[in-house]
Amino acid sequence: MKSVKKIVYFQALAGSFIFLSSSVALAEVPVNPNVPLAPVLLNLTGKNLNLVKRGSYLVNAVGGCNDCHTNPSYEAGGDPFKGEAEAINVSAYLGGGRAFGPTITSANITPDAAGKPAGLTRTQFINLIRTGRHHEDPTMILQVMPWPVYKNMTDSDLKAIYEYLRAIPSIP
């Protein structure tokens, strides 16, 4: 576990350096240089790196997706709410499964076997965030999930979130 984390951190730092050396992107992509690119090892093959970075910022610094979509959000001994040094539960990162009452459970939003986050195409993902409705059953409205807030994001922000989710490890 320890060595995995080191690799992840190295990869994340390397990502930050790539970012810092690309001057055009610097102005456009919000990144906190004190925070690693992502808490998990990203698969950047075939991804747009600038979109991934923007998406990571929106997911990890703004959206708080980890709070609800990782169960539990923090590793044992790594819960900042208990005053412990933060350790995100990387092995379950955004894998869903957190219950909110008896019937609502957060979804697995990692890429499926085809690489699609939550099994959604980008258009389906954006429609879901904009409407709070899943394309397979538009009569149901997503509960708890703060889509009424996220729906106010720009298309480019939602595309960035989608690109980032494509890059995170898949949890079956």
Q: Looking up tokens 């906190």, which residue turns up?
A: 32
Whose tokens are 């390397």? That residue is: 14
When the beta carbons of 31 and 65 are compared against ligand HEC, the nearer one is 65
Q: Which of 65, 42, 54, 72 is nearest to 129 (CA)?
A: 65
Between 4 and 149, CB nearer to ligand HEC: 149
**Cis omega (within 30 of 0) for bond into 72:** yes
**In this structure, are residues 160 and 58 in contact, taking their beta carbons and an 8 Å threshold?**
yes
Q: Which of 49, 51, 59, 126 binds ligand HEC (CB under 6 A)?
A: 59
User: Site mask, ligand HEC, residues 63-102, x = CB under 6 A?
Assistant: xxx-xxx------------------------------x--
Q: Which residues bind ligand HEC (CB under 6 A)?
A: 59, 63-65, 67-69, 100, 104, 106-107, 109, 118, 125, 128, 134, 142-146, 150, 161
